[in-house]
């Protein structure tokens, strides 16, 4: 009798969070039977449904797991440090295929514990447009792999500006400010402050203001300001640009 195919992934970059009361979650899917994220967010085990083979369903399975990982990035309390998912082992047809790509993960300090059910509800049930916008999400994932937080922030702001400028005459910061101003209740973490532009009298949202501060440091070649601004970018601030 053939056993269900089991996929074992290594997770890294989701830090300072521990799951409690953890157990495999049944998935309402024609492909996936259960998913288990281990307590310290360093491994993911996926059991496929009877008769489902990874090799012939790889694209759809990985797309669903991308959906889960994006929700981890944008909606969980985990701190981010270059988040990645690597398939290490496929147990299929009573054989084990090991991935050639295995990385060493540095140890982390766990600082918060939450019930596993809370995380599963968030990462499994929060809606994304992963299937419709797979390339866009891939751009976000790759941006988050950049070790420079300023580069992450500037790239994500540029993406936000492009998305909010669709159907407009041009891609510009004005579209970001107008959108966030008209949706204040949806983004309570966004504040507004007077612009630093000369001879201008309007308020910029906090993302745009910070982006322009970075731009100012580049224009004036002010390395001290650049480093200071970089030190102010937190994991949560990066997350907020993905919401």
pLDDT of 31 higher than 90: yes
Could you read off the pLDDT of 220-236 as tens digits, one per residue? 999 899 888 988 887 77
Hey, how many other C-beta atoms are within 10 angstroms of the C-beta on 159? 16
Span 157-210, pLDDT tens digits: 999 999 999 999 999 999 999 999 999 888 888 889 999 888 888 999 999 999
Confidence of residue 99 (pLDDT cuts 50, 70, 90): low
Q: Are 172 and 161 in contact (CB under 8 A)?
A: yes
SS3 assignment, position 140? helix
Global pTM?
Answer: 0.59
Domain boundaries, the chain: 6-130, 146-240
Beta strands 18-20; 6-15: pairing state: unpaired
Confidence at residue 49, expressed as pLDDT on a 0 to 100 scale = 94
| 197-208 per-position pLDDT tens digit | 888 889 999 999
240 HSE (CA, 13 A, CB side): 14
Question: What local confidence, expressed as pLDDT, does residue 103 receive?
Answer: 38
Confidence of residue 107 (pLDDT cuts 50, 70, 90): very low
CA gap 10, 186 in Å, rounded: 34
How far out from the chain centre does Cα 160 lie? 14
Would you state the structure tokens that stand for residue 169, as one six-digit string? Answer: 């005459």
* Other Cβ atoms within 10 Å of 112 Cβ, number: 10
Phi, psi of 5 (to 5 degrees): -65, 135
Q: What is the mean pLDDT of residues 41-52?
A: 92
Tokens read off for 20: 């409690």
């Amino acid at each position: 009798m053939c056993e269900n195919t089991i996929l074992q992934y290594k997770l890294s970059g989701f830090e300072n969070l521990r799951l409690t009361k953890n157990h495999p979650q049944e998935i309402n899917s024609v492909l996936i039977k259960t998913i288990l994220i281990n307590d310290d967010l360093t491994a993911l085990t996926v059991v496929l449904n009877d008769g489902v083979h990874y090799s012939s369903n790889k694209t759809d399975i990985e797309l669903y797991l991308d959906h889960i990982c994006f929700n981890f990035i944008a909606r969980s309390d985990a701190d981010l440090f270059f988040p990645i998912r690597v398939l290490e082992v496929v147990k299929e047809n009573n054989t084990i295929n090991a991935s050639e790509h295995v990385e060493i993960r540095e140890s982390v300090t766990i600082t918060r514990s939450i019930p596993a059910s809370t995380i599963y509800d968030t990462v499994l049930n929060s809606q994304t447009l992963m299937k419709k916008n797979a390339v866009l999400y891939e751009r976000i994932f790759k941006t988050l792999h950049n070790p420079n937080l300023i580069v992450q922030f500037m790239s994500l702001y540029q993406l936000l500006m492009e998305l909010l400028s669709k159907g407009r005459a041009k891609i510009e910061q004005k579209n970001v400010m107008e959108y966030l101003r008209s949706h204040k209740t949806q983004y309570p973490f966004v504040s507004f402050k007077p612009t630093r532009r000369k001879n201008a009298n309007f308020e910029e949202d906090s993302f745009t203001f910070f982006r322009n501060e970075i731009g100012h440091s580049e224009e004036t070649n002010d390395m001290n300001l650049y480093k200071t601004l970089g030190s102010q970018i937190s994991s949560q601030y990066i997350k907020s640009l993905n919401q």
